[in-house]
Amino acid sequence: MVKFEEILAIDEKISEAHLRKADCLDLLGDIPGSIKSYSDAIETDPQNKIAYYNRALSYEKISDFKKASHDYLQAVTIDPNNKSDPDNKITYHNLGILYGQSNQLDKAIEAFTKAIEIDNNYADAYHNRGYAYQLKGDYDSAIKEYDKAIQIDPSNEGYKFSKGRLLQSRD
């Protein structure tokens, strides 16, 4: 981290140095420090998709879901054609999970749907969209989503368990 401080002492406008410093702070468990450094990276480069994405992850760690969702949306807005990392399907998937945790199930379903629009073989997105439907009480849609996830990845026991749990609860 000292090296990043040395680089920033020479030129504080190097977004990449702020970004890597933030990554280190996050790994060390200094979430407020990482958020500040990600914010510094964004201030020096407002198009830094990775900084928005990583700051969203940090906001999630402190349960600031409103700021996390804002940053996830900003990351996909910066790169609507999905030409840089992280892949927008992952960002939308994370956003869907975040909305689900906040009991915003319609928004969760919408976010998972956007992930699936990017990659229609994204089994985790089908699985989690199924779970959101299940929480809404739309069991038929949930089973269809679980079936699609199982079709894509038949070796995933978690998908089968989710479907089985739902079927048992309906009996």
- Residues of the chain with pLDDT > 90, as a percent, come to 86
Q: Quick one: which of 74, 17, 63 has its CA closest to 41?
A: 17
Average pLDDT over residues 56-61: 97
* 58 and 95, same domain (yes or no): no
Average pLDDT over residues 23-31: 94
Q: Which residue has the higher pLDDT, 29 or 15?
A: 29
* 103 and 153, same domain (yes or no): yes
pLDDT tens string 153-169: 999 999 999 999 999 98
pTM of the model: 0.90
pLDDT tens string 122-147: 999 999 999 999 999 999 999 999 99
Residue 5, pLDDT score: 60
Tell me the C-alpha distance between 18 and 44, whole Å: 9
Residue 161 belongs to some domain of the structure: yes
Tokens of 43: 């201030």
Tell me the C-alpha distance between 35 and 42, whole Å: 10
Contact 51, 38 (CB under 8 A): yes
Q: How many residues make up the chain in this entry?
A: 171
Long-range CB contacts for residues 79-83, cutoff 8 Å, separation at least 24:
79/49, 82/118
- Angle at the Cα of 57 from the Cα atoms of 53 and 63, rounded to 5 degrees: 135
Average pLDDT over residues 98-103: 95
CATH number at residue 125: 1.25.40.10
Mean pLDDT of the chain, nearest integer: 92
31: left (phi over 0), alpha (psi -120 to 50) or beta: alpha
Residue 108, pLDDT score: 98
* 20 and 56, same domain (yes or no): yes
Per-residue confidence band for 19, with pLDDT thresholds at 50, 70 and 90 = confident
Residue 7 has pLDDT above 80, yes or no: no
DSSP state of 81: T
Residue 70 belongs to some domain of the structure: no
Residue 10, pLDDT score: 58
* 160 and 94, same domain (yes or no): yes
Q: Distance from CA of residue 6 to its chain's centroid?
A: 32
Contact 161, 131 (CB under 8 A): no
Residue 12 has pLDDT above 90, yes or no: no
Q: Which residue has the higher pLDDT, 15 or 112?
A: 112
Give me the domain span that covers residue 98: 87-171
